[in-house]
Structure 1
């Protein structure tokens, strides 16, 4: 399984990476520190799932979602994107809107805890 971890906080990426490697040995992990890197890595590696923060510099998570969803709709991607949003963003209306996007499987609040990891294991 290929997993793209997109978060501008290296600590968050490291926590996710360490837990995923422990619970899913053999998975291929790809990292991106912002939405621009994420777009290029998504197109290059076409991961099975993306773990995405919303608030990032350069290109934010929502813009990333728009670009990959549009690319799928136009036939540039072979499979429909599957995204788990993991964010500290706390606007309930915006989170509800994001959770309704076609590629978003679920929204999980930060901070990343053992409960977050357990929930992720059920989604992966």
Structure 2
């Protein structure tokens, strides 16, 4: 399985990557520090699953998801963000996400992430 992590915080990116690799060892993990580079990696590698933050420079996670959905309705996306405004969450859920996890990613939230990924 190929997973793309799109997250502007290096710390959060590393936490998510560590959680994934500790629980799904045969996984290939790609990382991007903003939505624009995330979209470029998506186009190049066609990952099976993407995790993305919403609030990022260059291209927000919400706009990244919209761009991906214009060309691909099937790629699984998990949003991991501290932005929990109802209007924003409703809009991204309409774009067909697999799940929404509130930051920080610790304990139960890490378990939820792994369960969502394993369900793919």
Task: Write out per-residue CA displacement over residues 27-70 of structure 1, whole angstroms, 9 at most, x where no aligned residue.
Answer: 00000000110011001111110011000001101111111110
Structure 1 partner of 2:42: 42
Cα shift at 1:107: 0.9
Cα shift at 1:90: 2.5
Per the alignment, in what secondary structure is the counterpart of residue 15 of structure 1? helix
Structure 2 partner of 1:114: 107
Q: Which runs of 5+ in 1 are unaligned?
A: 74-79
1:67-82 matches, cutoff 5 A: 67-72=67-72, 80-82=74-76
CA contact (8 A) 2:80 2:102 kept: yes
Instruction: Let me know the Cα RMSD of the aligned residues.
Output: 1.1
CA contact (8 A) 2:66 2:95 kept: no
Cα shift at 1:86: 0.4
Q: Runs of at least 4 residues of structure 1 off by over 2 A? A: none
1:78-117 matches, cutoff 5 A: 80-102=74-96, 104-117=97-110
Structure 1 partner of 2:14: 14
TM-score (norm 2): 0.93
TM-score (norm 1): 0.90
Cα shift at 1:109: 0.5
